[in-house]
Amino acid sequence: MTEVSLDDSQRATVQIDPEERQIVIAGPGSGKTEVVSALIEHLTEEEGVDHLDGLLVISFSNAAVHAAEGRLRDHGAAPVSVQTLDSLASALLRDLATEDHTDLDFDGRVVEATRLLEIDGWDRIGDLQHLIVDEVQDVVGVRADFLLAIIAAIPADAGFSLLGDPAQGIYDFQLGPPGSDRAPASTTTSAQLLESVTEAHAPALRQLTGQYRAASRDARTAMRLRDAALPDGEATEMEDFFADLVHLGRIEEAVDLLRGWSGTTALLTSTNGQALATAGVLRRLGMVVEIRRSAHHQVAAGWIAATLGDSTTDSVGKAGFEKLISERHPDIDAADAWRALRSLTGARGTEITVSSIANRLRAGRSLLPDLTQRPSVDVVVSTVHRSKGLEFDNVVVLDFPSRGRIAADSDVDGARRTQFVALSRARSYLVRADGPDDRDLRLATNPATQRARWIVGGHKTWMTFGIEIGVGDIEPVFDDPAPSQAHIEAEVVAGADLDLRIDVEASTLEFPVYAVIHNGMTIARTSRTFGEDLASRIGTLERRRGTWPALYGAEVEAIATSASDSRSDSSWRHGLYLAPIVTGLLTLDWNGSTE
């Protein structure tokens, strides 16, 4: 086990009895993740807490889960259960629900899990000795209610540690603005969650006081703005600091500078539409960038299909799997991968079945971090909300014509916290720049399905010059997948340009399907969902009596695993395929070729 050097405030948080209950205020860069790892080590190694049944770690997002599990492995800690509240709710429903809840949305599953927990209890909670919750300030609404029910259900002699920072609580916006037509299932804020826990359980209140992230003067100053982000803080202090940051001008003019930076770089925006537009500008200038995805948009890692997709047998043993991994993906830890796949399929013996993996992925089962696609590039474009809990070597905070700076928001307190989160992501360079023109960006909803996508519009509401493509909009080619799969594995990399050409045979009068082509090889196709959403904006062929538009601007973000129907007549027979992830704004061209 790795020895971790702790400061006094960290040591007070870590060296506790299992039955102790505490709320820990942990500002950015205060070493919270190290504290969580050390706390787990202390509880399991020194206090005898069972690392599987006696301990549960809840983290806000899959990214945070992945970070926590990685730190635990690095420190040699015993494997523990680290889950999001959504994955925990899904597990509870699988254990307790007597009805099928697959048609419920994310919030609906959490609400039903809360109801069942309050009525029936749950052995997974009833056996706990200690509960750890990371990023507690991000838990709002139905998830806050679910967490309160979990805390109420743990044994009377069990303890808990809730770690977070009220100055970074930026998710209350999900509850809807005061007086709006939105009617959330719950209006519990993160502050109300902590108040309820304090009143009901009287936990000890502790604060981490160190600073271990910031490596530059601006980054260190940004960390000290935490008090200014609180409701009673001095707002002008943060405004003055933001105004004094180095301004790079238009983002197009700063590309050469960005290329020269070492480490990871994040460009932060207010909306995902702005992130899409910014990524498009950078890609056109030759940069390879990744758009930060929502926590709900999990992508299965490409190594799964690359290792098992063309397996000659459905059943694979541990020794055979480790041999395949070592040959095809030696960068993947075979033991971690095997354990994660067994967990996904619920396997109990010494073998896993490839078809079960495909079935679980196709059903949208929540993935352990070891099974998700990890960032493969150093430059990320993200909303501030999606960057929450992450840190980067360099951060560029972007202003936009329509919204101005990130803090421009009717919720003054929420805007201040959001700006603080943006400013506190950097270790070294912290600058600002002007993003691309976003005045024609807007969310458009397909009235038939209520799905929403970002579009580039015009001065008339019906005009559509660009449309968002994202996770789930690309499907494998099925007629003979072997050639396309071999091409993807051998030649397609992040940043590769793709051609989208109308697939006449697959398209209908109601929606288009585009073949996804790389260097002359068709490697995938667009989904029916994408086609329906595009048609909802531009009209069907029957209504317009025209042709489908050409689409430009598609670029590979990553290679992932896609799950679909099995094909007994193919060497890729089990339903696991490699497919490109394509995200961004595609340009519609009515004059281009549609042949």
Binding site listing: 26-33
Which amino acid is it at 395?
A: V
Tokens read off for 216: 């530059």
Query: Cα-flanking dihedrals φ and ψ of residue 127, to 5°?
Result: -95, 0
DSSP string, 573-586: -SSEEEEEEE-EEE
Which amino acid is it at 122?
A: W
* 496 in Cβ contact with 555 (< 8 Å): yes
Give the SS3 label for residue 266: strand
Tokens read off for 301: 């890692």
Separation CA 373–CA 305 (nearest Å): 12
* 143 in Cβ contact with 185 (< 8 Å): no
Largest CA distance in the chain: 74
CA distances from 556 to 301, 323, 578, 589 (A): 15, 29, 13, 20
Within 265-407, residue ranges assigned H as helices are 272-284, 302-308, 318-328, 334-345, 354-362, 384-387
Give the SS3 label for residue 267: strand
For residue 27, which of 264, 205, 210 has the smallest C-alpha distance?
A: 210
Give the SS3 label for residue 438: coil
For residue 172, which of 487, 388, 439 has the smallest C-alpha distance?
A: 388
How many CA atoms within 13 Å lie on the side-chain side of 125?
27
Strands (E), 436-488: 441-445, 452-456, 466-469, 474-476
H helix or E strand, kind and range, residue 66? helix 62-74
Burial of 384 (0-12, 13-18, 19+ CB in 10 A): buried
Separation CA 212–CA 30 (nearest Å): 6
Q: Which residues are annotated as a binding site for ATP?
A: 26-33
Residue for token pair 């009220």: 166
* 66 in Cβ contact with 367 (< 8 Å): no
Residue for token pair 């530059």: 216
* 458 in Cβ contact with 425 (< 8 Å): no
